[in-house]
Amino acid sequence: MHDQQLLLALRHYPVWLPPSIEDTFAAIREEAEIGFRYIELEGVEAENLRAILNRRREIKKLCDDLGVQVVNFTPVLHDLVSQDLDRRRTALDLFREALDAAVEFGCRTVQVDSYLPPLQFLGEVPYQGTVRYDVQYRVAVDPAFDWNRFWAGLVESFTQCTRLARDAGLRFCLEPRVGETVCTTDGMLRLLDAVGDDHFGVVLDTAHLHAQKEILPLSVEKLGRRIFMVHAADNDGRTPEHNVPGRGTIDWDGVWAALRKHGFAGCVSVDVAATGDLQPEYREALRFLEQLNRRTGPPARR
């Protein structure tokens, strides 16, 4: 959403995680075929991330040939929040390499998540497939676990990521997600305060926060200009499903009005998870968001 125009991107959900590098090339071609000119890209853990880093020039050339730009790069590195200092340092080294690729791609932002806290799940584990609300998650908390120590490590890691991203000319952002360490608006505000750097901001994922029973326009009010990107998807507020915007109970007019009030000028990414032929749903989402933006008017200037 920038002046009269809506900067729309597509966040592709691979069928298998981590995807193969061939899947990545195929996804970029599909995204361009649908009509998107801005996309997000992920590198899922060390092996897939290294494959992307090794072939980043090929990826950039393909994007240039197709008229597509990568606006956000997400290195998925769970060890960024590890309590093991050596593992965290290794993840930070990979993050540095990911920043180099993000710069080469021409990204605006680089993103991570806060991932699951170090708990022992007894039975089903969130994000091994999806997060479900019709199962009972049971955990065992290690008697040696110290929340304050874990939080301090997380803050230290994300502070370093923010500094590295800033030095690379990028903004660093985190997406609160259901079931993860930072899963709510207020939890994100606490983390923003702890890091204390305006180059650190938020990916507002409407589906995750709606499933957390957040009042989304209020979330936007709280986060304000620290929202660097929006992941747009819908659900019924009872599950964290990522459906086409408009196929749920999210107050989209209220969300857009709040974003407009704070002069949001970032990227709105279609974040729909679907099976089978994705193209009709992606195109439906594209039409919905474009119509929403035309109906509600352009955002206020910063």
Instruction: Dump pLDDT digits (tens) for 177-228.
Output: 999 999 999 999 999 999 999 999 999 999 999 999 999 999 999 999 999 9
Buried b (16+ CB within 10 A) or exposed e, 102-127: beebebbbbbbbbbbbeeeeeeeebe
User: What's the rounded Cα separation, in Å, for the pair 79 and 157?
Assistant: 10
Structure tokens belonging to residue 48 = 């897939």
Distances (CA, A) of 219 to 167, 188, 198: 29, 10, 18
pLDDT for residue 18: 72
Quick check: helix, strand or coil at residue 105?
helix
Residue for token pair 């032929």: 277
Residue (of 78, 159, 156, 148) closest to 115 by Cα position: 78
Quick check: helix, strand or coil at residue 195?
helix
Q: Please answer whether residues 28 and 39 qualify as being in contact, where contact means their C-beta atoms are separated by less than 8 angstroms.
A: yes
Q: How many CB atoms lie within 10 A of CB 282?
A: 21
Indicate the Cα dihedral angle 79, 177, 162, 93, nearest 10°. Answer: 20
In the chain, the amino acid numbered 126 is P
pLDDT for residue 133: 67
pLDDT for residue 130: 64
Residue (of 118, 125, 122, 117) closest to 138 by Cα position: 122
pLDDT for residue 12: 61
Quick check: helix, strand or coil at residue 258?
helix
pLDDT tens profile 253-266: 999 999 999 999 89
Q: The pTM is what?
A: 0.92
Enclosing H/E stretch for 49:
helix 45-54
Distances (CA, A) of 34 to 25, 263, 273, 278, 282: 15, 28, 16, 10, 8
Q: Which residues pair with 44 in a beta bridge?
A: 76
pLDDT for residue 302: 33
Instruction: Give, for all 302 residues of the chain, the pLDDT tens digit.
Output: 433 456 778 776 554 467 788 989 998 998 898 888 999 999 988 899 999 999 999 999 999 999 999 999 999 999 999 999 999 999 999 999 999 999 999 999 999 999 999 989 888 888 876 667 677 889 999 999 999 999 999 999 999 999 999 999 999 999 999 999 999 999 999 999 999 999 999 999 999 999 999 999 999 999 999 999 999 999 999 888 899 999 999 999 999 999 999 999 899 999 887 666 778 888 899 899 989 988 887 544 43
